[in-house]
């Protein structure tokens, strides 16, 4: 169903979810020693899977713009200050949607659920790699530190994204996941 | 008897604020939103492209001038910066002490163990801090002086030239509009969900859990949030189509934006200042000033 | 017969939403309410009157800012009480509870509560079975995808999720909102039979006067955060002046009786339900005194 109005609305709604997750503490899952895992990029992935790569770009832009604004106006941590640079906050986020969408399209013939999970991982890793990459190229952080963050934060974030993507899209599209019934 | 006030852990709606609009009806408020957006864009370019402390100080002066002319209370603006200060200081310190500076003439100011502070690294630290402050104030200025309706129209108009590259300006502005208007609804739904799941015995408290357990604890909140939102999206689409919404082609507006000479002037003045600032950065004006006062170590 | 136990006692409860911020709004101003065992308490009021805020105090989601709330012997102003215990014994069902379903399979969603209580596997299974059957859902539906059930089934599933906690008191916010007449009827029948146990109680908040008329023993009328009228259902629901002034409607049967009386017909206005009103009119039509 290729409804252009629907694309606009879903982009707006998913964008709002991303902003909401960032503005409230819902978007941050506490992890090792203070640094939190983020799920703000998950609406980008879900929006791209449901409505296409361009919607993904739009939601990514909103996510990026918000993280820039948050860094400028109400930072919650030292890292937020780096996000006032659009090369760190906006540019990388534009690609999350299209890459997630590509992964989904490529794999959905094989297994819908696997495609959703891998798509979640791909989208999340795009966010991790491109943002950290920008921080490294702009010399905000040494590459050694970046590598550590990529592993300790990036990998768990990818798992979270996969779990959430599968749960939401499977429920929305009424797809069965794995087991054939409840565990009761 | 009054008990000490502690906001309920469930009250989310009041916490989501995106930057206030203060209608003081000043000259700045009356500027066309497109002009203001262009000015902040130019400001961003200046901040990113220039390494010059002097240049950034000039930009800071400019923004401060605009804030004063917009009749924004100074205390209010600075209050907004307060939460950022500790982190800013930390990063500036990091820049000064740890990150090695580059340049033709490095004069060491202070040395201890493996820490070495040079004149350049001090400049770099100050530049970092100033970059942030200028950007933060600039964005706050736009937010204080422009309503969301004006902003959305401004964004749409500015994006129109991009239509030749395939970017649908009207749709893009509409997406931003929907995002902004949906936020309070989302906060209310989120609050409701939090309360409903807590009432069923869900435990969202802190604790030492593995990754997958944490992921599972999120599901009762996040999955319904997404599903409710997608359902509302469907309803909105139906409502828009029922009102014959057919997309942006040929669509007219009730609010017309008209540019006045003062808008052109404002943008022109800003471009010239930014050009100067970038130039100062490119010629390393600080290096020149320092070299004229102090000798260069061999 | 002994005096029924007071299960919930609310005294001079006051609450301000977003207190301490520039957006603060008083939602409850000195509300007092009692819920006795074996009774169904109806709470009526126009939208924004504070009904939901009041309900959320009953299971400890909100703690009293001023005043006291005693639930099943515990005082909610005491920070050391076991709040999860309260939330099991007082089951709060929000409006449109089907929105909170999140598990892929129906049975798992109902099992969420019992599992959170830490029950054993077979206990959980038994609770789920009983809860589902109580709301009229076949236990076989447990293996169905939640998203594939109809809206009525989903609402019943959500209710089963709360019942599976085996609460002593059920608190419901607009339970029949959005249901078709059949669904509404079946839900009301269920609530009526659930409440017949003398140790249980129900608190029902709604602006649907018919629901109130059918189920309530006692009624409280809440307007702008204050109780303007309270008492036995029969008395309160016939107080047309107060109800109409509070932007509430009257139960249809009461309205009908009023109109007939206005036209000089000797109908008593104390019929609350359609059945009672019908009988009154039958008597009238037959010409008996």
Candidate from C77, C102, C165 with C-beta closest to B224: C102
The pLDDT score that the predictor gives to residue B206 is: 65
State the Cα–Cα distance between residues C282 and C223, nearest whole angstrom.
Answer: 36
Minimum distance, in Å, between the CA of residue B183 and any CA atom of chain C? 17
CB B16 within 8 A of CB A24: yes
Chain B: partners with 3+ C-beta pairs within 8 Å: A, C
Of residues C72, C53, C73, the one with CA closest to residue C13: C53
The pLDDT score that the predictor gives to residue B10 is: 53
Minimum distance, in Å, between the CA of residue B57 and any CA atom of chain A? 18
Q: Is B144 helix (H, G, I), strand (E, B) or coil?
A: helix
% of chain C with per-residue pLDDT over 90: 58
The pLDDT score that the predictor gives to residue A28 is: 83
The pLDDT score that the predictor gives to residue B222 is: 94
- CB distance C87–B201 less than 8 Å? yes
Contacts of A184 in chain C (CB under 8 A): 107-108, 110-111, 124-125, 128, 142
The count of CB pairs under 8 A between chains A and B is: 160
| Whether the predicted pLDDT of C55 surpasses 90 | yes
Minimum distance, in Å, between the CA of residue B180 and any CA atom of chain A? 7
Contacts of B191 in chain C (CB under 8 A): none
State the Cα–Cα distance between residues A149 and A140, nearest whole angstrom.
Answer: 13
Minimum distance, in Å, between the CA of residue C144 and any CA atom of chain A? 7
CB C158 within 8 A of CB C146: no
Candidate from C20, C84, C101 with C-beta closest to B5: C20
Contacts of C64 in chain B (CB under 8 A): 3
The pLDDT score that the predictor gives to residue B20 is: 64
* β-strand partners of C221: C44, C229
- CB distance B222–A12 less than 8 Å? no
| Whether the predicted pLDDT of A32 surpasses 90 | no
Q: What is the pLDDT of residues A85-115, one digit of tens each?
A: 888 999 999 999 999 999 999 999 999 999 9
Residues 6+ apart with CB under 8 A from B267: B35, B38, B39, B42
Minimum distance, in Å, between the CA of residue C30 and any CA atom of chain B? 12
The pLDDT score that the predictor gives to residue B11 is: 52
Contacts of B5 in chain C (CB under 8 A): 19-20, 65
The CA R_g of chain A, rounded to the nearest whole Å, is 16
The pLDDT score that the predictor gives to residue B12 is: 52
Decide which of C11 and B159 is more confident. Answer: C11
Q: Helices B119-145 & B53-69, crossing angle to 10 degrees?
A: 20
Q: What is the pLDDT of residues A7-16, one digit of tens each?
A: 999 999 999 9
From the candidates B20, B189, B192, B196, which should be mutated to test the interface with C, based on the most C CB atoms within 10 A? Answer: B196
State the Cα–Cα distance between residues B197 and C112, nearest whole angstrom.
Answer: 10
Least confident of A58-62, B278-282, C106-110, C111-115: B278-282
CATH number of A4-173: 1.10.1760.20
Candidate from A10, A26, A72 with C-beta closest to B135: A72
* B191 shares contact with chain C (CB less than 8 Å): no
ipTM for the whole complex: 0.94
From A46, which residue of chain B is nearest by alpha-carbon distance?
A: B226
Q: What does the mean pLDDT of chain C come to?
A: 89
* A144 shares contact with chain B (CB less than 8 Å): no
Decide which of B70 and C203 is more confident. Answer: C203
- CB distance A176–C142 less than 8 Å? no
Residue ranges of the alpha helices (H) in C7-59?
Answer: 51-58
| Portion 67-106 of B in contact with C at CB < 8 A | none
* C101 shares contact with chain B (CB less than 8 Å): yes
| Whether the predicted pLDDT of C128 surpasses 80 | yes
Contacts of B214 in chain A (CB under 8 A): 29, 160
The count of CB pairs under 8 A between chains A and C is: 39
* C146 shares contact with chain A (CB less than 8 Å): yes
Q: Is C263 helix (H, G, I), strand (E, B) or coil?
A: coil
Residue B90, token pair as written in the block: 């930390």
Q: What is the pLDDT of residues C27-51, one digit of tens each?
A: 999 999 999 999 999 999 988 889 9
Q: Is C32 helix (H, G, I), strand (E, B) or coil?
A: strand
Strands C226-232, C66-71: pairing is unpaired
**Core vs surface per residue C203-240: b (16+ CB within 10 A) or e:** bbbbbbbbbbbbbbbbbbbbbebebbbbeebbebbbbe
- CB distance A184–C125 less than 8 Å? yes
Contacts of C110 in chain A (CB under 8 A): 184
From A57, which residue of chain B is nearest by alpha-carbon distance?
A: B172
The pLDDT score that the predictor gives to residue C18 is: 75
DSSP C203-253: EEEES-HHHHHHH-SEEEEEETTEEEEEEEHHHHTT-HHHHHHTT-PPPHH
- CB distance B220–C94 less than 8 Å? no
Minimum distance, in Å, between the CA of residue C48 and any CA atom of chain B? 14
Chain A: partners with 3+ C-beta pairs within 8 Å: B, C
pLDDT averaged over 10-residue windows placed end to end, chain B, 298 residues: 42 48 79 88 86 89 89 76 76 77 73 77 85 84 83 83 81 88 88 91 72 83 95 94 82 79 91 91 82 75
- Name the band, by pLDDT with cuts 50, 70 and 90, for residue C191: very high
CB B66 within 8 A of CB B269: no
Candidate from B199, B220, B228 with C-beta closest to C87: B199
Q: What is the pTM of this model?
A: 0.82
Candidate from C125, C142, C147 with C-beta closest to A174: C147
The pLDDT score that the predictor gives to residue C178 is: 87
The residue assigned the tokens 């999720």 is C161
CA distances from A29 to A25, B89, B186, B203, B242 (A): 8, 26, 19, 14, 40
- CB distance A159–B132 less than 8 Å? no
| Whether the predicted pLDDT of C271 surpasses 70 | yes
Q: What is the pLDDT of residues A59-79, one digit of tens each?
A: 999 999 999 888 776 666 667
- CB distance B228–C19 less than 8 Å? no
* C139 shares contact with chain A (CB less than 8 Å): no
State the Cα–Cα distance between residues B206 and B209, nearest whole angstrom.
Answer: 9
Burial class for A5, CB neighbours closer than 10 Å (0-12, 13-18, 19+): middle
State the Cα–Cα distance between residues C124 and C118, nearest whole angstrom.
Answer: 9
- CB distance B193–C99 less than 8 Å? yes
- CB distance C100–B202 less than 8 Å? no
Minimum distance, in Å, between the CA of residue B293 and any CA atom of chain A? 30
Q: What is the pLDDT of residues A140-181, one digit of tens each?
A: 888 888 898 899 889 999 999 999 999 999 999 988 887 778
Minimum distance, in Å, between the CA of residue C118 and any CA atom of chain A? 14
* B196 shares contact with chain C (CB less than 8 Å): yes
- CB distance B198–C101 less than 8 Å? no
* C67 shares contact with chain B (CB less than 8 Å): no
Contacts of B132 in chain A (CB under 8 A): 72, 81, 84
Residue A45, token pair as written in the block: 């992935």
The pLDDT score that the predictor gives to residue A113 is: 93
- Name the band, by pLDDT with cuts 50, 70 and 90, for residue C67: very high
């Amino acid at each position: 169903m290729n409804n252009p109005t629907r694309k606009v609305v879903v982009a707006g709604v998913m964008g709002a979810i991303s902003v909401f997750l960032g503005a409230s503490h819902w978007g941050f899952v506490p992890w090792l020693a203070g640094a939190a895992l983020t799920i703000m990029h998950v609406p980008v992935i879900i929006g791209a899977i449901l409505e296409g790569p361009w919607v993904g770009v739009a939601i990514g832009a909103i996510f990026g713009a918000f993280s820039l604004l948050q860094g400028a106006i109400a930072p919650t941590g030292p890292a937020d200050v780096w996000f006032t640079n659009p090369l760190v906050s906006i540019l990388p986020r534009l690609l999350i949607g299209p890459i997630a969408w590509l992964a989904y399209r490529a794999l959905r013939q094989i297994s819908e659920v696997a495609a959703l999970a891998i798509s979640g991982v791909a989208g999340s890793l795009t966010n991790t790699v491109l943002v950290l990459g920008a921080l490294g190229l702009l010399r905000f952080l040494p590459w050694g530190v970046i590598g550590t963050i990529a592993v300790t934060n990036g990998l768990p974030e990818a798992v979270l994204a996969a779990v959430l993507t599968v749960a939401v899209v499977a429920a929305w599209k009424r797809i069965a996941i794995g087991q054939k019934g409840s565990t009761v | 008897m009054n008990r000490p006030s502690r906001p309920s852990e469930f009250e989310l709606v009041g916490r989501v604020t995106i930057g206030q609009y203060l209608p003081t009806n000043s000259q700045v408020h009356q500027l066309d939103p497109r002009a203001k957006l262009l000015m902040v864009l130019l400001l961003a370019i200046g901040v990113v492209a220039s390494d010059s402390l002097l240049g950034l100080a000039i930009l800071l002066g400019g923004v401060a001038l605009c804030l004063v002319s917009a009749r924004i209370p100074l205390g209010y603006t600075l209050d907004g910066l307060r939460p950022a200060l500790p982190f800013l200081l930390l990063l500036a310190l990091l820049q000064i002490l740890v990150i090695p500076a580059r340049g033709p003439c490095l004069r060491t100011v202070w040395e201890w163990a493996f820490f070495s502070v040079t004149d350049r690294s001090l400049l770099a630290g100050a530049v970092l801090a100033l970059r942030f402050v200028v950007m933060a104030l600039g964005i706050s200025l736009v937010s204080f002086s422009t309503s969301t309706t004006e902003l959305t129209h401004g964004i749409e108009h500015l994006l129109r030239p991009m239509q030749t590259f395939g970017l649908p300006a009207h749709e893009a502005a509409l997406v931003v509009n929907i995002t902004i208007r949906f936020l309070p609804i989302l906060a209310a739904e989120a609050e409701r969900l939090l309360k409903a799941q807590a009432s069923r015995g869900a435990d969202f408290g802190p604790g030492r859990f593995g990754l997958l357990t944490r992921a599972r604890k999120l599901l009762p909140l996040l999955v319904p949030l997404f599903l409710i939102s997608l359902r509302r999206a469907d309803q909105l689409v139906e409502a828009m189509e029922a009102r014959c919404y057919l997309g942006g082609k040929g669509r007219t507006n009730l609010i017309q934006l008209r540019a006045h000479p003062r808008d052109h002037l404002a943008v022109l003045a800003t471009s010239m200042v930014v050009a100067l600032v970038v130039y100062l950065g490119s010629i390393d004006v600080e290096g020149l000033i320092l070299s004229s006062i102090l000798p260069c170590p061999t | 017969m002994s005096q029924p136990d007071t299960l919930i006692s609310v005294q001079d409860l006051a609450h301000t939403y977003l207190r301490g911020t520039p957006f603060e709004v008083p939602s409850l101003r000195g509300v007092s309410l009692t819920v006795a065992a074996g009774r169904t308490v109806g709470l009526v009021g126009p939208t924004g009157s504070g009904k939901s805020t009041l309900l959320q105090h009953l299971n400890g989601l909100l703690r009293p800012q001023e005043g006291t709330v005693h639930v099943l012997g515990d005082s909610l102003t005491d920070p050391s009480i076991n709040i999860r215990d309260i939330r099991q014994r007082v089951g709060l069902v929000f409006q449109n509870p089907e929105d909170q379903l999140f598990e892929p399979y129906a049975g798992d969603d109902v099992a969420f509560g019992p599992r959170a209580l830490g029950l054993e596997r077979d206990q959980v299974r038994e609770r789920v079975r009983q809860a589902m059957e109580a709301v009229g859902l076949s236990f076989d539906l447990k293996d169905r995808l939640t998203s594939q059930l109809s809206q009525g089934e989903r609402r019943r599933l959500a209710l089963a999720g709360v019942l599976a906690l085996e609460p002593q008191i059920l608190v419901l916010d607009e339970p029949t909102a959005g249901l078709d007449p059949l669904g509404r009827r079946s839900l009301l029948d269920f609530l009526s039979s659930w409440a017949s146990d003398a140790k249980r109680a129900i608190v029902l908040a709604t602006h649907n006067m018919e629901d109130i008329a059918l189920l309530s023993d006692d009624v409280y009328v809440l307007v702008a955060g204050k109780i303007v009228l309270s008492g036995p259902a029969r008395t309160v629901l016939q107080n047309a002046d107060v109800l109409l002034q509070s932007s509430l409607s009257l139960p249809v049967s009461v309205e009908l009786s009023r109109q007939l009386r206005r036209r000089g017909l000797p109908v008593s206005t104390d019929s609350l339900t359609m059945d009672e009103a019908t009988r009154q009119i039958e008597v009238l039509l037959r010409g008996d005194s």
